[in-house]
Structure 1
Amino acid sequence: MPVTAVGDESRAETVLSAEDVDAFAEITGDDNPIHLDEAYAGETMFGGRIAHGVLSTGVISAAMADLPGDVIYLSQDLRFENPVRLGDRVVATATVEEELGGDRIRVETVARVPDRDEVVISGEATALSTPHED
């Protein structure tokens, strides 16, 4: 049986800065100018730099980590719905929707930018949920 129960929910949030985006690009090698070059990005449909979508999923991962027990990702389906702009506060929630049998759970994952009342990422994860070992 998983440690988490249907209805358990956790939350995480962060503000994604230009420094965060620059560091992520340096670490991963993802140097797409839409993320790094203000002049270039200003001419695109976004009108300025945006954060890497995958960087924003890290906030979802933090919310998953705050569910009861040890939660280990098995899979994650994502839909990138709106851009995250530099300086946006991203708030993610992870809500356990279903026990799948054994130690597996299905979790609804959502990241929002509350200042614009926008969902930026939605999706669903499958994870293992086991007791936390000290």
Structure 2
Amino acid sequence: MIIDSEKAMLDLGANLADILQIGDKVALSGTLGAGKTTFARGLMRGLGFDEEVPSPTFAIVQQYEPPETRLPVAHVDLYRIEDTGDIRELGLGDALEYGALIAEWPDRMPDGFWDNGLQIKLEIETEKTRRLTWTAGPAWKNRWPIT
């Protein structure tokens, strides 16, 4: 799928918000500037969050909770994680018990973590366009892809 504008990326994220459920894992992969955080911003707006959605690069985990959002979401940026052992300290498994997980730089997670998740890859095509490809685990059957 080709995404041809920032608005289209935000809209796609908002569309995903409509089907996001407790326990869902969404992995956002791509190089710097590919649109991972923009996609996450659209998703958070689709869940009802009206304020600025910062990149969690420095905080690593940014939590969003009702009533500001339809369901709890942990927005994670694993870019600065070098030792996968440090990930356990973030409590991401606990976040999935009562909410959803959206992760940028998901390759830092242990093998198999994303098997039942939605893995979205964003690639820069041109200055304004991005190519979106995905792999969807069984939990996403009949929910993804969305248009």
TM-score in same-fold range (> 0.5):
no
Higher strand residue share: 1
TM-score when normalising by structure 1: 0.27
TM-score when normalising by structure 2: 0.25
Q: Which has the larger radius of gyration?
A: 1
